[in-house]
Structure 1
Amino acid sequence: MKPNHKGTAQIFENPYLERLTKTHIAVPISIFIIIAIGLIIYGFMNGFLNVLSALGLFLVGWLIFSLIEYMAHRHVFHMETDTPIKKNIQYTFHGNHHDYPKDKDRLAMPPIVSLFIASFLFFTFKLIFGQFVFGIVAGLLFGYALYLFVHYAVHAYAPPKNFLKTLWIHHSIHHYKDPNRAYGVSSPLWDWVFGTMPERKK
């Protein structure tokens, strides 16, 4: 199906399940920002973080998320749909977005999924990083919130007349010219690292 600027996909026949697939972008962004701030405050109050460690760990977490964003988009959301099950999963999570890129209600996962992801990431990284988790996951969740904001902006608004315009161009290439390139949304960093930057015209 060719991308449609209007309309929305029907994912579930059950109207209640269908409603759960839609959310206003402000909800998950608020969830991740509030949790990120709470983690930093908790880390300071309990002596797990100081200003320098908080800043460093925050930036590490942000970088980790940018890699997760790229890998998930490239290898999960664009998985090979060589079986009916894979095809259904891919369409539910991402394929419908390519068919209806202007559907603002499906530019983010539902809040309950967002909370599950935040909890999973926290406990996973706590096992790996111990008390440093408060700074790292705060940066990671901030990265997630920034990704959601950028993704919403590039689909909902005209590109700005400044250096940020490159994000609009980058994501538009992925949607409308080459879905096998330009996987980074909040940053083209990992496209550059892994060789999936759009080819420039000679």
Structure 2
Amino acid sequence: MVAQGFSVDLNKPLVFQVGNLGETYEEWVHQPIVTKKGPRFFHSDFWEFLTLTVWWAVPVIWLPVSVWCISMSVNRGLSLPEIVPLIALGIFIWTLIEYTLHRFLFHIKTKSYWGNTAHYLIHGCHHKHPMDHLRLVFPPAATAVLCFPFWNLVKLFTTPSVTPALFGGGMLGYVMYDVTHYYLHHAHPTRAVTKNLKKYHLSHHFRIHDKGFGVTSSLWDILTR
């Protein structure tokens, strides 16, 4: 793809190239390259390593965090009948966060150098290389950074005993989201529910990229039509 005299070289690290596409970045990034092996992002081996994540790292790292948070609410005096609705509410709130981030941040339209570069790192790379199995789930380092503002936001509106259970439920929702996302790209569902969910999500990638933003559920897509 050539723009303003510039063409992306897929054999070289991509992150600092894509910004040069300018206004044509939007078109370029939504022309998928369907291979399991993804491109190189950075010259630096260290930064390259931080972009690569096996799918099972998500439940291995974040399920214990979710359980630990929920146990904090138990230690602060909440009973099981009080905690279960908070976990369910946390999962429900996550579905809204998932939808909102995907629709309004991950699909923001950019044309500046740094705007294109940031968008490619956050989500554009996933649309350009949708089957890249090592860049499909969110890197743990980035998730850890985002945990702090989300924790403080929950803390702002809830009591000290409620905060951990509600946050733990949201973290559980996140784990379900990322594992489901990987499953929809790389598994072969046999049940009607998961077949339809896979069809719905792949339609977002390969047919209409400005619709179908829900991954674990189409609820918010339906409510916001």
Instruction: Name 1:127's counterpart in structure 2.
Output: 156
Matches within 5 A, 1:156-171: 156-171=186-201
Specify the SS of the correspondent of 2:115.
Answer: helix
Q: Does 1:175 align with 2:205?
A: yes
Instruction: Name 1:199's counterpart in structure 2.
Output: none
Letter in 1 for 2:76: N
Q: Does 1:19 align with 2:33?
A: no
Instruction: Name 2:100's counterpart in structure 1.
Output: 71
Separation in structure 1 between the aligned mates of residue 156 and residue 66 of structure 2, nearest angstrom = 18
CA contact (8 A) 2:70 2:168 kept: yes
Letter in 2 for 1:142: L
User: Deviation digits for residues 118-172 of structure 1, max 9, x if unmatched?
Assistant: 2332222112212211221111001100000100001111132332222101101
**Shift of the alpha carbon at 1:194?**
0.9
Instruction: Name 2:216's counterpart in structure 1.
Output: 186
Letter in 2 for 1:80: K
Question: Higher mean Cα deviation, 107-116 or 85-94?
Answer: 107-116
Separation in structure 1 between the aligned mates of residue 33 and residue 193 of structure 2, nearest angstrom = 28
Gaps of 5+ in 2: 1-27
Q: Does 1:85 align with 2:114?
A: yes
Instruction: Name 2:72's counterpart in structure 1.
Output: 42
Letter in 2 for 1:156: H
RMSD value, Cα: 1.4
**Shift of the alpha carbon at 1:88?**
1.0
CA contact (8 A) 1:171 1:182 kept: yes
**Shift of the alpha carbon at 1:63?**
1.0
Specify the SS of the correspondent of 1:37.
Answer: helix
Gaps of 5+ in 1: 196-202
Q: Does 1:59 align with 2:88?
A: yes
Separation in structure 1 between the aligned mates of residue 101 and residue 186 of structure 2, nearest angstrom = 22
Letter in 1 for 2:158: F
Letter in 2 for 1:59: A
Separation in structure 1 between the aligned mates of residue 191 and residue 84 of structure 2, nearest angstrom = 31
Separation in structure 1 between the aligned mates of residue 191 and residue 66 of structure 2, nearest angstrom = 31
**Shift of the alpha carbon at 1:93?**
1.0
**Shift of the alpha carbon at 1:182?**
0.3
Separation in structure 1 between the aligned mates of residue 216 and residue 108 of structure 2, nearest angstrom = 20
Letter in 1 for 2:147: A
CA contact (8 A) 1:28 1:114 kept: no
Q: Does 1:101 align with 2:123?
A: no
Instruction: Name 2:24's counterpart in structure 1.
Output: none
Separation in structure 2 between the aligned mates of residue 158 and residue 34 of structure 1, nearest angstrom = 28
CA contact (8 A) 2:90 2:169 kept: yes
**Shift of the alpha carbon at 1:87?**
1.1
Separation in structure 1 between the aligned mates of residue 196 and residue 147 of structure 2, nearest angstrom = 29
User: TM-score under structure 1 normalisation?
Assistant: 0.91
Instruction: Name 1:112's counterpart in structure 2.
Output: 141
**Shift of the alpha carbon at 1:91?**
0.7
Separation in structure 1 between the aligned mates of residue 42 and residue 126 of structure 2, nearest angstrom = 15
